[in-house]
Chain A
Amino acid sequence: MMLAGLTGDECRQRLANRGLLLKTGPFTVRVRSDIEGFTRLLRQFYGQFPVMETPAVADFHVRVLRPGGIRRWWRPQVQFLLDGQSPFQPFQLSHAFPLFEWGLNWGIAMQAHQYLMLHSAAVERAGKVLILPAWPGCGKSTLCAALVSRGWRLFSDEFGLVRIDDGQLVPLPRPTPLKNKSIDVIRDFAPDATIGPAFHGTRKGTVAHLQTPDASAAQAHIPALPGWLVFPRYRAGATLQLKPIDKPQAFLKLANNSFNYRLLGLQGFQAVTRLVRQCDRYILSYSDLDEAIDTLNQLADA
């Protein structure tokens, strides 16, 4: 059953009691909360994702709750708990949904070491995955959102999850957090895309989430082999350039980009070298999204 198949009351009941078991990519997340605004957005953004029936083993146990004390009435806040621990300071109550998204990302980055985890967007076309590794500020999320709005399948905006045993990328499609100027950029670029409410004053400025396309959510169980490694660099006014890079350079950039390369030891080395062998490798400098997407489409269709 999909989350959208539950009524609002059923969803609220599960969240408030034993927890809602939400399947997102390879992970099952037990979510508990009694915050109405959060519940509404969870239903909106994860409506097309499966919910599991209890008993089921969850990978992550998440609570999104209002802390007690005077803060309950005066400047109310929201707290994120993962496996009973609170890794972050509370956020203002209205930021419960972005807190959940960031908290779950943090939990995955800290725990999912059965994968090589790249800090990258990943999208698929014609059976091969385009990996877009980048640290914040390089335009990764905007480019990813634009590609998905032009028909690429969303694997993830945040994680390149590489299976250690066979090198396949595993989808983890979730809402894409657009930040600041990129919110309006994507509104203009993809007027039909569903973008949620804007959360102002977060640590990353204003954030609004882009809905995962139904087709991407429906194929969240289908992995694919990597085809291209493209390191994006957004620069205002930059002329588009797709510059090939050699394997040693790609290896260094990818190893440094990974959340857990060092932790995985030899497995990490073997996974990164295999990725470098398997993929065509480029640095993409761009400022115009249409040009960038045309170039990447041509790359995929070649």
Chain B
Amino acid sequence: MEVSQQAQSTTGWKILEEDALHWEKWGEQYALYDALSGETHLLPEFSARVLQQLSVHPRTADVLARALCEGSDETCEQAFVEHVSQLLVQLQAAGLTEKVQS
């Protein structure tokens, strides 16, 4: 099922402080140092791409999912949006993202 406009959430997401994030890429894994919290994270490539998309500007999960689907032949299904939403919550728990009202 494709994402409908009605399904879009008004809850936006942003990263806490782009300048505080320091990256090291190893193949499909990333080490990320967050200078704000002093925490280091090992992330799979997908999580890294989500954070890098958010570094452009805050987005809702729907818009973010569409951006991640760009360039792909596949349609952006609702299940994928849900997956992105869950990942954003996990990244929030890790102190890397926070909600903003759009």
| B31 adjacent to chain A (CB < 8 Å) | yes
Pairwise interchain contact A251-B33, C-beta atoms closer than 8 A:
no
Pairwise interchain contact A269-B31, C-beta atoms closer than 8 A:
yes
Q: Which of chain B's residues has its CB closest to A247's CB?
A: B26
**Per-position 1/0 for B20-53, Cβ under 8 A of A:** 0010101101010101001010100000000000
Contact residues in A for B24 (Cβ distance below 8 Å) = 251, 269, 273
A contacts with B: majority SS: helix
Contact residues in A for B26 (Cβ distance below 8 Å) = 246-248, 251, 276
Q: How far is the CA of A265 from the CA of B38 in the complex (A)?
A: 6
- A273 touches which one: B29, B31, B38 (CB < 8 A)? B31
Given contact pairs A266-B22, A273-B24, A248 touches B31 in the complex (Cβ within 8 A) = yes
Pairwise interchain contact B40-A269, C-beta atoms closer than 8 A:
yes
Q: How far is the CA of A246 from the CA of B26 in the complex (A)?
A: 9
Q: How far is the CA of A273 from the CA of B35 in the complex (A)?
A: 15
Contact residues in A for B35 (Cβ distance below 8 Å) = 265-266
B contacts with A: majority SS: strand
Q: How far is the CA of A247 from the CA of B38 in the complex (A)?
A: 21
| A299 adjacent to chain B (CB < 8 Å) | no
Contact residues in A for B22 (Cβ distance below 8 Å) = 266, 269-270
Q: How far is the CA of A276 from the CA of B29 in the complex (A)?
A: 14
| A104 adjacent to chain B (CB < 8 Å) | no
Pairwise interchain contact B42-A269, C-beta atoms closer than 8 A:
no
Contact residues in B for A247 (Cβ distance below 8 Å) = 26-27, 29
Pairwise interchain contact B31-A251, C-beta atoms closer than 8 A:
yes
Pairwise interchain contact A251-B42, C-beta atoms closer than 8 A:
yes
Q: How far is the CA of A281 from the CA of B25 in the complex (A)?
A: 17
Q: Which of chain A's residues has its CB closest to B31's CB?
A: A251
Pairwise interchain contact A248-B42, C-beta atoms closer than 8 A:
yes
- B29 touches which one: A248, A255, A265, A270 (CB < 8 A)? A248
Q: Which of chain B's residues has its CB closest to A270's CB?
A: B22
Q: How far is the CA of A288 from the CA of B9 in the complex (A)?
A: 62
Q: How far is the CA of A248 from the CA of B27 in the complex (A)?
A: 9
Q: How far is the CA of A164 from the CA of B29 in the complex (A)?
A: 24
**Per-position 1/0 for A259-278, Cβ under 8 A of B:** 00010011001100100100
- The smallest beta-carbon distance between B56 and chain A, in angstroms, is 23
Pairwise interchain contact A255-B38, C-beta atoms closer than 8 A:
no
Contact residues in B for A255 (Cβ distance below 8 Å) = 40
- The smallest beta-carbon distance between A182 and chain B, in angstroms, is 34
Q: Which of chain B's residues has its CB closest to A273's CB?
A: B24
| A252 adjacent to chain B (CB < 8 Å) | yes
Other than the known A248-B29, A273-B24, what 11 A-B pairs have Cβ atoms closer than 8 Å? A247-B26, A247-B27, A247-B29, A251-B26, A251-B31, A251-B42, A265-B38, A266-B22, A266-B33, A269-B24, A270-B22
Interface, chain A (partner B; CB < 8 A): 246-248, 251-252, 255, 262, 265-266, 269-270, 273, 276
22 interchain pairs (CB within 8 A)? A246-B26, A246-B27, A247-B26, A247-B27, A247-B29, A248-B29, A248-B31, A248-B42, A251-B24, A251-B26, A251-B31, A251-B42, A252-B42, A265-B38, A266-B33, A266-B35, A269-B22, A269-B24, A269-B31, A270-B22, A273-B31, A276-B26
